[in-house]
Amino acid sequence: MNKRWVVGNWKLNKTCAEARAFTEGLRAQLQSLAGDVTCIIAPPFTALQTVASAGPDVGVAAQNIYGQDAGAFTGEISAPLAAEAGARYTLVGHSERRALFHETDGQCAQKLTAAARAGLCPILCVGESAQDRAQGRTAQVVEQQLEGACGRYLQGQEGPLMVAYEPIWAIGTGHTPAPEDAQAVHAVLHQALGALMPQGAAAVPLLYGGSVTADNAAAFVSQRHIHGVLVGGASLTLQSFVRIAQVLSA
């Protein structure tokens, strides 16, 4: 798979005005990308439409969706609403959603199906804690999360999928696994996807996320089963985000 993806997760950051300035700057820089790189931004819900208005050359992702399309769910955003605002992708099961809001694999499964109904491509996030890693449970944890969320979704071939491996212990810490270690986990995910969808696993992009910078991005995507990166803090500054995209396009 020669195509590369750079997904920027802004989390709880940026006003609409800041989002507009960033996205306009990003569009102006896209011509500097030499290879086949897709840039996707996951802004706060309030800025989805702002980022989407930049044009089709910048992908837009919701940071989260609810598992139902409508109803008495105060404070939630459904997949159809996110799609109407311009999203074409959505994060599902980000480690902060799992840790802070206690989201389960079952809830992630509902969100995958909801995303498919609305025509969104879900980016499922999986990853282990520092304790899991110390106990040698990384492969077991990520495989369980993948199968728990994707089992029914992939058996029904309901829609597209991307998977991001983001070791919890690496997010925002400045610490990352060696690229070879990240590749080993991605190989586990690729094999697990092959068991769930024998004919289609090769078409599922696998991303690495966790303290990604322009200095380490190339080393990760040089690995066989790593096709892109999910960027947190480094996506908040236009210069650093564009530099990561340029590195991946070289």
b/e code 163-197 from CB counts within 10 Å (16+ = b)? bbbbbbbbbeeeebbebeebbebbbbbbebbeebb
Phi, psi of 24 (to 5 degrees): -65, -40
Query: Is 94 known to be catalytic?
Result: yes
CA neighbor of 22 nearest in space, from 33, 8, 11: 8
In contact, 123 and 7? CB cutoff 8 Å: yes
Catalytic residue among 96, 103, 128, 166: 166
Catalytic residue among 94, 186, 225, 227: 94
CB 122 within 8 A of CB 87: no
Catalytic annotation present for 166 = yes
Q: Residue type for 43, please?
A: P
The residues annotated with a catalytic role in the active site are: 94, 166
